[in-house]
């Protein structure tokens, strides 16, 4: 009997301790989650920091280079997260079991140390992650069979807008003609009726240009059409500022890419020696031209006239003043070697059918939208580069691993 009583007491004590432990665990989790702010200002600040610093390697809902960050504030305590973000290697080297396992799981990829981040900034990132965890983004509907997802929001092309405006003007003119015909018909009909002197005077009053100018409705329609046309012209002009597509300046020497690169198949790299190892492709100096033209003294199209200019430049030691065709703004960084040697792009990707051009012209518009679309659509060249093995493995079955997926549309990639 005493043993039974003792067993019951032990059971009660166990239940109390288990309840306290469970309650403590729940409260700890709730307290951790509730410590993450949920106000819109913090979430917006966190989203900005996440996009600028974390997005290249992390997603909230899925793995990328690093683990998915969904509910990360519940998996580890906030002080641990602060320390790990500021210097993950220090936490790993301290022997922290979770950090070491994480490091090994993701191929010992070192996370960038954000030592300049304050605890409050990291907490705002947690606020954004919590918002994305609680409100996961809705996936876009799959395109219809045979269709493709548009890389940019749908917009009405300029030719269609012009056609719409011209069509509207034609319709207004037709309506105006119809109205004049109706007025004349009514005037003829009323002229045959017995009218009071006042009505007869009104019907007999001529409908001329001065009368039309007093018609507020007509003036309003004309003003709306003129405003629309002028506004469209101004917008088109603003969009064309700095865009030099089709630019083909007259050069000091009539050099033909069609003859050299097209007919004679001279490799672009022979003349533009910096294209695989430098930011700039560079324009060849006269001594490169002389490698061939010391023997070839008569041109296919121009005889000796243009080749003599090369000889004159060499003899006077004066550089040939070529006119630059492709000229990106200073705020945009572009590296030829990164695209040609690493990315494996052909010259024609940006410069068009250069081997067919007698006079070089700017083939593409080279706007930011054009570059961004290329990065969204072009698969990353990962062949023979072990650095990308893990990334390629992660992206298998999810479509092409594009330049954009590797951070190729982040602002800091081209603007810094």
CATH assignment at residue 119: 1.10.760.10
**Is 67 inside a domain boundary?**
yes
**Is 5 inside a domain boundary?**
no
The residue among 239, 266, 287 that closes a domain is 239
- Asked whether residue 112 falls in the same domain as residue 183, the answer is no
Tell me which residue range forms the domain holding 99.
Answer: 35-134
**Is 277 inside a domain boundary?**
no
- Asked whether residue 55 falls in the same domain as residue 129, the answer is yes
The C-alpha angle with vertex 140 and arms to 139 and 142, in degrees rounded to 5, equals 115
Report how far residue 280's alpha carbon sits from residue 282's, in angstroms, rounded to the nearest whole number. 5
194 pLDDT above the threshold of 90: no
Confidence of residue 196 (pLDDT cuts 50, 70, 90): confident
Average pLDDT over residues 327-343: 91
**Is 6 inside a domain boundary?**
no
Q: What is the pLDDT of residue 376?
A: 93
- Asked whether residue 164 falls in the same domain as residue 127, the answer is no
4 pLDDT above the threshold of 60: no
**Is 185 inside a domain boundary?**
yes
The residue among 189, 214, 239 that closes a domain is 239
Report how far residue 120's alpha carbon sits from residue 86's, in angstroms, rounded to the nearest whole number. 12
Q: Which tokens hold the place of 116? A: 């300049």
Paired strand residues for 303: 299
**Nearest partner of 407 among 384, 389, 393, 388, judged by Cα:** 388
- Asked whether residue 128 falls in the same domain as residue 162, the answer is no
- Asked whether residue 216 falls in the same domain as residue 170, the answer is yes
Mean pLDDT for the chain overall: 80
- Asked whether residue 49 falls in the same domain as residue 98, the answer is yes
Indicate the range of 9-18, 94-103, 117-126, 314-323 predicted with least confidence: 9-18
Compute φ and ψ for 42, nearest 5 degrees: -65, -40
**Is 235 inside a domain boundary?**
yes
Contact 301, 293 (CB under 8 A): no
The residue among 134, 166, 187 that closes a domain is 134
Q: What is the pTM of this model?
A: 0.48
- Asked whether residue 46 falls in the same domain as residue 122, the answer is yes
- Residue 226, helix vs strand vs coil: helix
Q: How many structural domains is the chain composed of?
A: 2
Q: Which tokens hold the place of 128? A: 């954004």
- Asked whether residue 116 falls in the same domain as residue 166, the answer is no
- Asked whether residue 119 falls in the same domain as residue 72, the answer is yes
**Is 74 inside a domain boundary?**
yes
**Is 29 inside a domain boundary?**
no
Q: What is the pLDDT of residue 10?
A: 44
Q: What percent of the chain has pLDDT over 70?
A: 82
- Asked whether residue 166 falls in the same domain as residue 235, the answer is yes
């Amino acid at each position: 009997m005493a043993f039974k009583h003792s067993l019951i007491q032990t059971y009660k004590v166990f239940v109390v301790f288990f309840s306290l432990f469970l309650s403590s665990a729940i409260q700890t989790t709730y307290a951790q989650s509730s410590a993450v702010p949920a106000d819109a200002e913090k979430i917006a600040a966190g989203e900005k920091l996440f996009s600028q610093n974390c997005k290249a390697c992390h997603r909230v809902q899925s793995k990328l280079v690093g683990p998915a960050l969904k509910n990360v504030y519940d998996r580890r305590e906030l002080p641990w997260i602060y320390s790990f973000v500021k210097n993950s290697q220090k936490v790993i080297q301290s022997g922290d079991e979770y950090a070491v396992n994480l490091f090994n799981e993701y191929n010992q990829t070192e996370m960038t140390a954000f030592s300049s981040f304050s605890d409050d900034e990291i907490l705002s990132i947690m606020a954004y992650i919590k918002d994305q965890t609680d409100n996961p983004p809705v996936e876009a509907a799959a395109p219809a069979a045979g269709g493709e997802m548009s890389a940019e929001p749908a917009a009405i092309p300029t030719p269609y807008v012009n056609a719409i405006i011209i069509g509207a003007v034609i319709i207004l003119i037709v309506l105006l003609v119809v109205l004049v015909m109706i007025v004349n018909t009514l005037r003829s009909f009323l002229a045959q009726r017995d009218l009071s002197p006042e009505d007869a005077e009104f019907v007999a009053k001529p409908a001329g240009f001065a009368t039309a100018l007093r018609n507020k409705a007509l003036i309003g329609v004309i003003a709306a059409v003129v405003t629309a046309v002028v506004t469209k012209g101004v917008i088109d002009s603003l969009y064309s500022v700095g865009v030099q597509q089709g630019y083909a300046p007259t050069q000091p020497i009539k050099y033909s890419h069609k003859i050299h690169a097209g007919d004679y198949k001279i490799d672009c790299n022979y003349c533009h020696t910096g294209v695989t190892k430098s930011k700039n492709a560079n324009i060849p100096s006269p001594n490169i031209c002389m490698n061939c033209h010391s023997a070839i003294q008569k041109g296919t199209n121009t005889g000796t006239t243009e080749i003599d200019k090369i000889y004159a430049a060499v003899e006077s030691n004066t550089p040939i003043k070529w006119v630059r065709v492709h000229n990106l703004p200073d705020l945009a960084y572009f590296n030829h070697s990164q695209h040609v040697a690493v990315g494996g792009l052909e010259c024609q990707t940006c410069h068009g059918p250069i081997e067919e051009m007698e006079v070089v012209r700017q083939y593409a518009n080279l706007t930011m939208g054009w570059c961004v679309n290329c990065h969204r659509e072009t698969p990353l060249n990962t062949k023979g580069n072990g650095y990308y093995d893990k990334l390629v493995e992660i992206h298998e079955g999810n479509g092409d691993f594009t330049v954009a997926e590797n951070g190729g549309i982040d602002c800091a990639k081209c603007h810094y």
